[in-house]
Each structure stands twice: as C-alpha cells, then as structure tokens.
A and B are shown apart, each in its own frame.
Chain A
Amino acid sequence: MSDPAYLLPVILALVLGVALSMYVVLDGFDLGIGILFPFFRDESARDQMMNSVAPFWDGNETWLVLGGVTLWAAFPKAFAIILPAMYLPVLVLLLALIFRGVAFEFRWVARHHQRIWDGAFAAGSTLAAFAQGVILGGLLQEIRVRDGQFAGAPFDWLTPFAIMCGLGLVSGYALLGATWLLMKTEGEVERKVRGMVPALLAGLLGFIVLVSVWTPLQIPRIAQRWFSVPNIVFLSLVPVATAFCAWLCWRGIRHGRSVLAFAAAVGVFLLAMAGLVLSNMPYVVPPVLTVWQAASHPASQLFYLVGAAILLPMILAYTALVFWLFRGKIGAGEGYHA
C-alpha cells in the first residue's frame, strides 16, 4: 500500500486533522472568552480578559483559514459538497467572525460605545462557536449528494442533533476559555472563573455523553464500528482516557494548578475529536465520499505536502515563540508584566 494515490490522501487527511485540531484548541479558548464575557459586567474585568488573548487571536483564527484551504486543495470534491450544504450555518459563522474580529480593535477606539462592541464580541463569539457545532453535526448526518454535487434543501442541516452539537461546542469552548483565564489572569477574574469551571466541565462532559449515545443510536454504521468485537476493546480506550483527562482537569482546578487544568481540558477536547474521526474514517463526507474519492490530483496533493512539510514546523515554532514572548499572568488593572 505504498501507492501514492493511496497514501497521499491519508497523509493529507492527517494534515487537515492537525489544522482543525489546532483551530479548535486555539480559537476555542479565545472564542470561549467571548462566550464568558456576559458573566463579567465590570469593564476592567473585560479589559483583562480581552488582553489575555489580544496578541494571539489573529494567529489562532488563521488555523480556520488553513483548514478551509486544505479541504479545498486536498479534497476539492468534499469542499464543493460540504459548503453549499452548510450554506446558512457558514453564513452565520462568517458574519459572527466579522463582528468578533473587528470588536478586538473597535472596542478600544469606541470610547462611549465600548459596550456595543463588548456585545458584538460576546454575541459574535457565541454564534461562531454555535455555527461551527451545527456544521459539524450537519456533516455527521447524511448530506444528500447526486452526481458529485450537493442535492439537498437549504435547511437539511437543521435537526435537533445538529443544534445539540452547536450547544455542545459552545459549552466546550467556554470551558477552554475559562481554564485559559485561570492560567492568564489574577485577582477578581481568576477568582470568579475558578467558581465557574466545575460547572463548565460537567456541562461539556454531559454533552460528550449525549453525543456518544445519540450518534450510534442514530447512525447504525457508527454503532457497528464501536460495538463490534474486537473494535470495542481498542475503542473503549477513548472514553477511558476522556474520563481520566476530565479527572485531571478537576484536580487541576481543585489544587490551583491552572496549567494542568487547561492542558487536561484540551485533552478532553482532542479525545472528543479523535472519537469523531474514529467513528467516521475513512469518510470525509460521511458516508458518501472517502478521502480517496474526494482527493485532488496527486500532483496537487504532493505540491501542497511539500509546502506543508517545510512550513508547518516553522509556523508551529514562531507561534510558540509568540506565546512564550507574551507569557505570564495579566493582573487586574495592569498591562503585561515587562
């Protein structure tokens, strides 16, 4: 199986997975800050929250752009099916990202209208998270396809399952945002967030359990994969590891070890994504297009991979550099420590 036509799409699917995981974790915590914004009425608390992500959000969001172009360059047939099928949720996502993105800059120059842009930031972040969950849920359900084109109706994606996935992602991002704030803030914000985290953790776990039960009940193909022998033995590692990460997160909160709490929350998230991938591979549009059927021309895939192999490590390196340069906590009523 060293045929490039077989191997290349698998490697590219991994790259796509990395891009989307990076996005979900990184933009997850800064969208989470926006989701938590309404719970903090005090402007100085909001300043502090926003400052904790201001130098990073643009780079974080770029992973979404990478995810989009990777899907297009590597799996154009999937790109051409998924996006028209998700027309309205994608529209909501884009408009929400506009409001949230400009709020980062507008908020500081708006003077008296600061609260309007606070609202835009909170609503934009929440809606963007919700739309992403709905798109995910819509993708897991079957998209109607005929002749390699989307052949469904505008509201095919609108199901209770997709709505639940949307709410689940909002709650998950809120947890990531809260554990990020534990690490990066001090004083009143940190104290208040500490009280909120256990409920957020419980909420996310609740949604994970719900999705894990609902998906196999609704989609026999996935039930078959998880509950047949011997798969069940290997795959049961995922829920076990998730439970362990959740326990670590809880311990981190209890003992004030905020880095552990954040890392464990990220772990819960990545395991949930791994579960989705394990349920659906090798499909990129389940269950109609596999990664091989959707793949672009091998020359296109190879050209992309050469660039990714050289540039992704560099990107990861300078992303880490920026996070390191802006390391440390940001206190109430102060800028970054010099």
Chain B
Amino acid sequence: MDTVAGIDALLFSRIQFGFTIAFHIVFPAFTIGLSAFIATLEVLWLRTKKTHYHTLARFWTKIFAVSFAMGVVSGIVMEYQLGTNWSRFAQIIGNTLGPLFSYEVLTAFFLEASFLGIMLFGWNRFPPWLHTLACIVVAFGTALSGFWILSANSWMHTPSGFAMEQGITYPVSWFDIIFNPSFPYRFTHMMIAAHLTASLVVCATGARYALAGRFMPEARTMLHMGLGMLAVLAPLQAVVGDLHGLNTLQYQPAKVAAIEAHWDGSRPAPLVLFAWPDSAAGRNRAEVAIPNLGSLIITHDWNGRFRGLLDFPADQRPPVLPVFFMFRLMVALGLLMIAIGWVGAWLWWRKRLVDARWFLRPLARAWPLGFIAILAGWMVTEIGRQPWIVYGVLRTAQAASPVTAAQVATSLALFVLVYVVVFSVGVWYIGRMNGSGPQPALPGPETLPNRPLAGGRPAPPARPQVTP
C-alpha cells in the first residue's frame, strides 16, 4: 500500500479535512453572530441617533472585515477539497448534496460578498439607510449560508429522501433531503452557538474596557447586549441540545452510546461523570457515575434503556474517547455560559455591573469559550458519525480520492504551515484592533485619504486612557 511514514492517503486526507475545517468553522460561526450584532447596532443608531451605537458598529465592522476575509478564503478550500481529496464521496453523493451547495452559493454567497462592499466602504458614501440595509443583507446572507451548510451536513448524519442505484445516490424528494430528520435541531443548535460565541466576544470586550474605565458608553452597551443574549440564549441552547440528543438517540444510537460511554445496553445507563473508556476491553476504567441518571437524561425515563456500544459490531462503533470527553467539555462550557449570563443579568438588574470587578475580570478573559464549545461540539458530532461519512450509506474509508499519500502529505504540510501563519497573524491583528478600542471621532475621506473607508483602516491615535 502506498504510504508516507506509514500513513496512507486516506488518513492524511482525514487529518487534512479535520484540520482545515476546524480552522474554517470558527470564522463563519463568529461572523454569523457578529453580523447580526452589527446590523442591530445600526438599526438602533438609525432609530435613536445615539452616536455610541454608530461608533460601535464601525468598530466591530473592522473586526468583522478581517474575520470574514479569513472565513471566505478558508471556505473556498473546503469546497475544492471535496473534489481533490474526497472524489468518490463527491461522485456517489453528488446528485443529492451538490445542488444544496449550489443553492448556498446562489442564495447566500453572492448576497454576502456583494453587499459586503457597501458595508465596508459605504460609510461616508451612501445614505445611512442604504448602509444599514447592506448590513442587514449581509447578516441575512451569512445565516442563509448556515442554513444550506447545516442542511447538507445534517443529511450526512440522517440521510433521507434519496434512493441508491448502482452505488450512486439519486434524489427522490428534495424536501426530505433538505429538511432531513436532524436538520431542525442541528440548524437551531448551530445558530444559537454562533450568537453565543459572538456575544461572549462582545461582552468580554465590554468588560475589558469597563475595567480600564475607557469608552464607558460603548462598554456598557456591549456588556448589556452581550450578557442579555447569554442570559436568554444559553439556557435555550441547553433545551435545544437536549432535543437534539433525543433526535440523535433515534437516528444515530451508536453516537449516543459513545457520548455516554455506555457499553451494556441491557441495563439502565448511569450518568458517567468521569471515566477512561477502554474500547479494547469494552468497558470504562476509573468510572465515577450516578446510577440511572444517564437513562433519565437520554430517554427522559428513570429506567429507560438505550443501546450500548457492545450492541454494535466493532467495525461500526465510533471512537469513544474523543466523543466522550469533547461532549463533557461542551456541556461544561454551556453551563458556564448560563452562569455568566444569569450572574451578569442579576448584576445589571442590581445596577452593579460596571463596578463588579470580581465579575468583569474573568469575563474579560472569557471570549474564547464559545469557539472552544463549537469545536468540541463539532468533534462530538463528526467523530461520533464515524466510521461513516454518510451515516449507514457510505463509509469514510470508501470516499477518498485515488491520489498518492505523498501528494496528500505535501498538501497537509502546506495547509498546516500556511494556516498557522496566516490565521494567527489575523487573530493577532483582531486582538490589536480590539485593544485600541472604538474610535468615536469619525474621520471622513479627507482625513484618511488612502482608502475608501475600509473595514481594517489604520486607527487614528487612541483617546487618552484612564488606566492601562
């Protein structure tokens, strides 16, 4: 077999796809939430004429521009990689999934990309209503893009509305393909996750400025809007996550068994708080568990039974270890988000928010929580689907391209090198823009001649700071 360092093209392709999509997923998730936030700020500004809304919208648009560019370039890679590395998948599934991706481009990408120009460069050139409209269109486009991608991804988990002929899928019902059984849960779960992620970045930024005593009107708005979203959406996400779990139990029982590290399906499941799942032995080591609670959560019945991993042939069990731990990480972060939202809301109600330094200090550092939760959740759902690329229809091992291991090893090495350099520089630039803060002085085209007032234009000198 053709290998490099003992690794074949398939495994290299799996690593490469996992690596490139892990980098990609955080940018769209962030920009879906952020674009809705910016559009909201612009509408608030149009209605109230309060300048700090406008200042904030401009500030976040700069950060949006850099994040969006990174999402766009890493997204093109995803599309073409389906052909270069997964050509058998592309061919077998093309009839059913190809049109969904086309609809994403036709309905969403062009909308975002075209109105982005107005959003980034139209501040002083167009009337405010047109600019606000462009922001709303961009926000709508990013959400619509999520709709199609989540539909395609859900179909890979719960395929429906298709038939097979000579090993190729054919569409039978487009409605059933698009609105497949897990789609409503996945789409809602991901959209809320995107808004939670952006809200955390926004209120962490607000906390940072409030602690420093800088940009106070803007800081207050960011804290209120960010924490308000967390207080409402984080508990809602727990409910949606629970419904999503019931759906997964129905359609992907092996994934639920792996999430719970539940081996023996003949007995009620405990809630495993900690364990080291041992796939070879078919049991958990060092298990700390609460009896029957697992059954209650999963089946909503104290003595409910659901299938354990041993009920599946060994070649149809997903890798247990990452699924088990990543799920716990995601849930823990979700609970933390609920706590942040509710404590923040309580402080806000007591009018003590901006003085509660004990709360603002950790909050200022909480910005990555949403990104980590999204990556963890993504790993749970995608690794939990293995060994299938399309659940029950096509195995990952049968989906790869007829290319050599050396080619994929080369591409993987280059992607790692380029992504690490380019995206760490990008994130560093975002951090720097975030540190310099919103600039209330609005320079016109005359004062900043070198650019049509773009997203990432150089910031004018910062206002005097109260504390460093």
Given the interface pairs A90-B80, A109-B429, A297-B170, the reply to whether A102 lies near B73 with Cβ below 8 Å is: yes
Say whether A66 faces chain B, with CB atoms less than 8 Å apart: yes
Say whether B233 faces chain A, with CB atoms less than 8 Å apart: no
> In angstroms, how far is the closest chain A Cβ from the Cβ of B208?
19
Given the interface pairs A299-B170, A300-B95, the reply to whether A111 lies near B76 with Cβ below 8 Å is: no
Q: Note all chain A residues with C-beta closer than 8 A to B115.
A: 318, 322
Tell whether, in the assembled complex, residue A80 and residue B87 are in contact, meaning their CB atoms are under 8 Å apart.
Answer: yes
**Could you mark each residue 93-109 of chain A with 1 if its beta carbon is under 8 Å from any beta carbon of chain B, else 0?**
11101110110111011
Tell whether, in the assembled complex, residue A110 and residue B429 are in contact, meaning their CB atoms are under 8 Å apart.
Answer: yes
Say whether A232 faces chain B, with CB atoms less than 8 Å apart: no
Question: Which of A29-37, A81-89, A195-203, A208-216 lies at the binding interface?
Answer: A81-89
Tell whether, in the assembled complex, residue A109 and residue B433 are in contact, meaning their CB atoms are under 8 Å apart.
Answer: yes
Say whether B456 faces chain A, with CB atoms less than 8 Å apart: yes
> In angstroms, how far is the closest chain A Cβ from the Cβ of B101?
5
Chain A facing B: main interface SS? helix
> In angstroms, how far is the closest chain A Cβ from the Cβ of B467?
25
Given the interface pairs A59-B117, A61-B72, A338-B445, the reply to whether A76 lies near B451 with Cβ below 8 Å is: no
Say whether B333 faces chain A, with CB atoms less than 8 Å apart: no
Tell whether, in the assembled complex, residue B72 and residue A58 are in contact, meaning their CB atoms are under 8 Å apart.
Answer: yes
Tell whether, in the assembled complex, residue A66 and residue B106 are in contact, meaning their CB atoms are under 8 Å apart.
Answer: yes
Tell whether, in the assembled complex, residue A55 and residue B174 are in contact, meaning their CB atoms are under 8 Å apart.
Answer: no
Tell whether, in the assembled complex, residue A77 and residue B91 are in contact, meaning their CB atoms are under 8 Å apart.
Answer: yes
Tell whether, in the assembled complex, residue A334 and residue B445 are in contact, meaning their CB atoms are under 8 Å apart.
Answer: yes
Given the interface pairs A65-B109, A76-B94, A330-B452, the reply to whether A90 lies near B84 with Cβ below 8 Å is: yes
Tell whether, in the assembled complex, residue B401 and residue A300 are in contact, meaning their CB atoms are under 8 Å apart.
Answer: no
Say whether B338 faces chain A, with CB atoms less than 8 Å apart: no
Tell whether, in the assembled complex, residue B114 and residue A322 are in contact, meaning their CB atoms are under 8 Å apart.
Answer: yes
State the total of A-B contacts with C-beta under 8 angstroms. Answer: 259
Measured in the bound complex, the distance between the Cα atoms of B118 and A338 in whole Å is: 13
> In angstroms, how far is the closest chain B Cβ from the Cβ of A299?
5
Which residues of chain A from 297 to 338 have a CB within 8 Å of any chain B CB?
Answer: 297, 299-300, 303-304, 307-308, 311-312, 315, 318-319, 322, 325-326, 330, 333-336, 338
**Could you mark each residue 62-92 of chain A with 1 if its beta carbon is under 8 Å from any beta carbon of chain B, else 0?**
1011101110111011011111101110110
> In angstroms, how far is the closest chain A Cβ from the Cβ of B178?
10
Tell whether, in the assembled complex, residue A104 and residue B69 are in contact, meaning their CB atoms are under 8 Å apart.
Answer: yes
> In angstroms, how far is the closest chain B Cβ from the Cβ of A67?
9
Measured in the bound complex, the distance between the Cα atoms of B399 and A135 in whole Å is: 23
Tell whether, in the assembled complex, residue A334 and residue B73 are in contact, meaning their CB atoms are under 8 Å apart.
Answer: no
> In angstroms, how far is the closest chain B Cβ from the Cβ of A310?
9
Given the interface pairs A322-B118, A335-B449, the reply to whether A303 lies near B174 with Cβ below 8 Å is: yes
| Nearest opposing residue in chain A for B93, CB measure | A76
Which residues of chain B from 108 to 157 have a CB within 8 Å of any chain A CB?
Answer: 109-118, 120-122, 124-126
Say whether A231 faces chain B, with CB atoms less than 8 Å apart: no
Which residues of chain A from 115 to 158 have a CB within 8 Å of any chain B CB?
Answer: 148-151, 154
Tell whether, in the assembled complex, residue B450 and residue A333 are in contact, meaning their CB atoms are under 8 Å apart.
Answer: yes
Q: Note all chain B residues with C-beta closer than 8 A to A148.
A: 91
Tell whether, in the assembled complex, residue A79 and residue B90 are in contact, meaning their CB atoms are under 8 Å apart.
Answer: yes
Tell whether, in the assembled complex, residue A106 and residue B426 are in contact, meaning their CB atoms are under 8 Å apart.
Answer: yes
Which residues of chain B from 204 to 227 have a CB within 8 Å of any chain A CB?
Answer: none
From the candidates B70, B94, B110, name the one contacting A315 in the complex (CB within 8 A).
Answer: B110
Given the interface pairs A95-B418, A101-B69, A315-B110, the reply to whether A307 lies near B84 with Cβ below 8 Å is: no
Say whether A56 faces chain B, with CB atoms less than 8 Å apart: yes
Q: Note all chain A residues with C-beta closer than 8 A to B102.
A: 66, 69-70, 72-73, 304, 307-308
Measured in the bound complex, the distance between the Cα atoms of B157 and A291 in whole Å is: 31
Tell whether, in the assembled complex, residue B76 and residue A94 are in contact, meaning their CB atoms are under 8 Å apart.
Answer: yes
Tell whether, in the assembled complex, residue A80 and residue B90 are in contact, meaning their CB atoms are under 8 Å apart.
Answer: yes
Say whether A51 faces chain B, with CB atoms less than 8 Å apart: yes
Measured in the bound complex, the distance between the Cα atoms of B276 and A18 in whole Å is: 56
Tell whether, in the assembled complex, residue B90 and residue A76 are in contact, meaning their CB atoms are under 8 Å apart.
Answer: yes
Which residues of chain A from 260 to 318 have a CB within 8 Å of any chain B CB?
Answer: 296-297, 299-300, 303-304, 307-308, 311-312, 315, 318
**Could you mark each residue 3-24 of chain A with 1 if its beta carbon is under 8 Å from any beta carbon of chain B, else 0?**
0000000000000000000000
Given the interface pairs A106-B456, A109-B433, A297-B171, the reply to whether A335 lies near B99 with Cβ below 8 Å is: no
Tell whether, in the assembled complex, residue B105 and residue A102 are in contact, meaning their CB atoms are under 8 Å apart.
Answer: no
Q: Note all chain A residues with C-beta closer than 8 A to B124.
A: 335, 338
Q: Note all chain A residues with C-beta closer than 8 A to B96.
A: 300
Q: Note all chain A residues with C-beta closer than 8 A to B234.
A: none
The 10 closest A-B pairs by CB, nearest first: A76-B94, A83-B83, A55-B117, A73-B98, A335-B445, A80-B91, A101-B73, A80-B87, A58-B113, A84-B401
Which A residues lie at the B interface, using CB under 8 A? Answer: 44, 47, 51, 54-56, 58-59, 61-62, 64-66, 68-70, 72-74, 76-77, 79-84, 86-88, 90-91, 93-95, 97-99, 101-102, 104-106, 108-111, 148-151, 154, 296-297, 299-300, 303-304, 307-308, 311-312, 315, 318-319, 322, 325-326, 330, 333-336, 338
